[in-house]
Amino acid sequence: MGRDAMDFGLTPEQKAIRDTAMQFATTRLLPGYQEREKADRIDRELVKEFGALGMLGTTLPEELGGAGLDFVSTGIIAEAISYGDHGLGYLPLLSTLVGEIIRRSASEAVAREWLPRICTGEVLPCLALTEPEAGSDAAHIKLRAERRGDTFVFNGEKTSISLAAWADMAVVFGRSDPESPGAHGISAFVVPLDLPGISRTVFNDLGTRVIGRGSIFFEDVEVPASNLLGQEGRGFRQVMAGFDFNRALIGMQCVGTAQASVDETWTYVVERKAFGSPLVKFEGVSFPLAEQETLLEAARLLCLKTLWLKDAGQRHTAEAAMCKWWAPKVSFDAITECLLLHGHAGYSDDYPHQQRMRDVLGLQIGDGTAQIMKLIIAREKVGRVAVPY
């Protein structure tokens, strides 16, 4: 049996948040979605508009610059923003994820230094865990964070980091104890990305080019010990635990992107005629769209339930993993159907469906692949006997 969750109504505040975010997404973001991909950079003034609307670091308390919202509201924002631009949908997610990690594990001084500026959009944050030889197997990262008095000296590479090209700061995971090869011995830090010895490269990605995924290199980078998050050597289990909600936000992000394609496709098949009728008269056209509406609604509800469990303080690890493997896949399939229903025109950049397909595909990998998510669900059901290592 699933956990208890029956009230499907949004509060008046949540409805107002949805309306504001959708208004911003459809008038400010959607018209420039394809142009922004060609620009290959992030518009920092636009990021500040997110901040002014209270859409960054949304769950952080007001005294730290946040909007003090619940996680369901954050999911509603993620969906709405991604309706306008999937890539910019990373902004509410990363600012909330990194912001919550800092709020929970940083010293008060570090939190006060960074969080208000993350919330205004002045500072772009990223989360740097993955390495060239450790993605799914994240407990085996190698980046060295060697303690020398009041500093940790970083050497190594982080790769596949969203916003690597533009970020001003990162939460970085490194090995502070080389004698411990697994999760023990990993520490987490707040790292300003303008420190000497840091360089970056950007990937030539298939999609979400606006977020500049890439590598960050550290060569004898001195990070103050006061930037440590949580306890030394406990960065993996202690600092990373409790952030399952991000997987439901990713689900909402993908559903929002796909919903934009589905909505546009209903309009298209009503207007376009073949064999003397609007396309929508043919059940071979309307039924697939009706199926995609159904699947997207189911995925949305799963994500919202997961965020509701988070807000209610209940365990939601399995539900979050379900959101993460399923919603990006359902969204990709829905967009593919929309592209096909546009005929030859859908295969060109006259329409945004090809871009949305490329964009959402990345999130079948980012933050953990479907296989890893299914391992988590199995582990939640029957315990570690289901884990193959």
Q: Are 97 and 75 in contact (CB under 8 A)?
A: no
Both tokens assigned to 42 = 């992030």
Closest CA to 249 of 237, 257, 261: 257
What does the alpha-carbon distance between residue 99 and residue 67 come to, in Å, rounded to a whole number?
Answer: 12
Comparison of 46 and 378: residue with beta carbon closer to ligand FAD: 378
* The token pair that represents 168 in the structure block: 């001003």
Task: Identify which of residues 131 and 311 has a Cβ nearer to ligand FAD in the complex.
Answer: 131
**161, 170, 186, 360: residue in contact with ligand FAD (rule CB under 6 A):** 161
CB of 127 to ligand FAD, least distance (A): 5
E strands present in 86-227:
125-128, 144-148, 151-161, 169-175, 186-192, 198-202, 214-224
User: Least distance (Å) from ligand FAD to the CB of residue 25?
Assistant: 20
Q: Which is nearer to ligand FAD, 135 or 278 (CB)?
A: 135
Closer CB to ligand FAD, 278 or 366, in the complex:
366
Q: Is 372 in the site for ligand FAD (CB under 6 A)?
A: yes
Chosen residue from 55, 60, 77, 128 binding ligand FAD by CB under 6 A: 128
Q: Which of 160, 176, 238, 355 contacts ligand FAD by CB under 6 A?
A: 160
Name the closest residue to ligand FAD (Cβ): 135
Among candidate residues 144, 155, 218, the one with its CA nearest the CA of residue 181: 144
Residue 29 DSSP SS3: helix
Stretch that binds ligand FAD, among 7-15, 99-107, 127-135, 231-239 (CB under 6 A): 127-135
Binding string, residues 130-149; x marks residues near ligand FAD by CB under 6 A: x----xxx------------
Residue 101 contacts ligand FAD per CB under 6 A:
no
In angstroms, what is the minimal distance from the CB of 17 to ligand FAD? 25
Smaller CB separation from ligand FAD, 3 or 140? 140
DSSP letters, 42-109, are --HHHHHHHHHTT-SSTTS-GGGTS----HHHHHHHHHHHHHH-TGGGHHHHHHHHHHHHHHHHS-HH
The gap from C-alpha 269 to its chain's centroid, in whole angstroms, comes to 32
Q: Which spans of this chain sit near ligand FAD (rule: CB under 6 A)? A: 126-130, 135-137, 160-162, 213, 362, 365-369, 371-372, 388
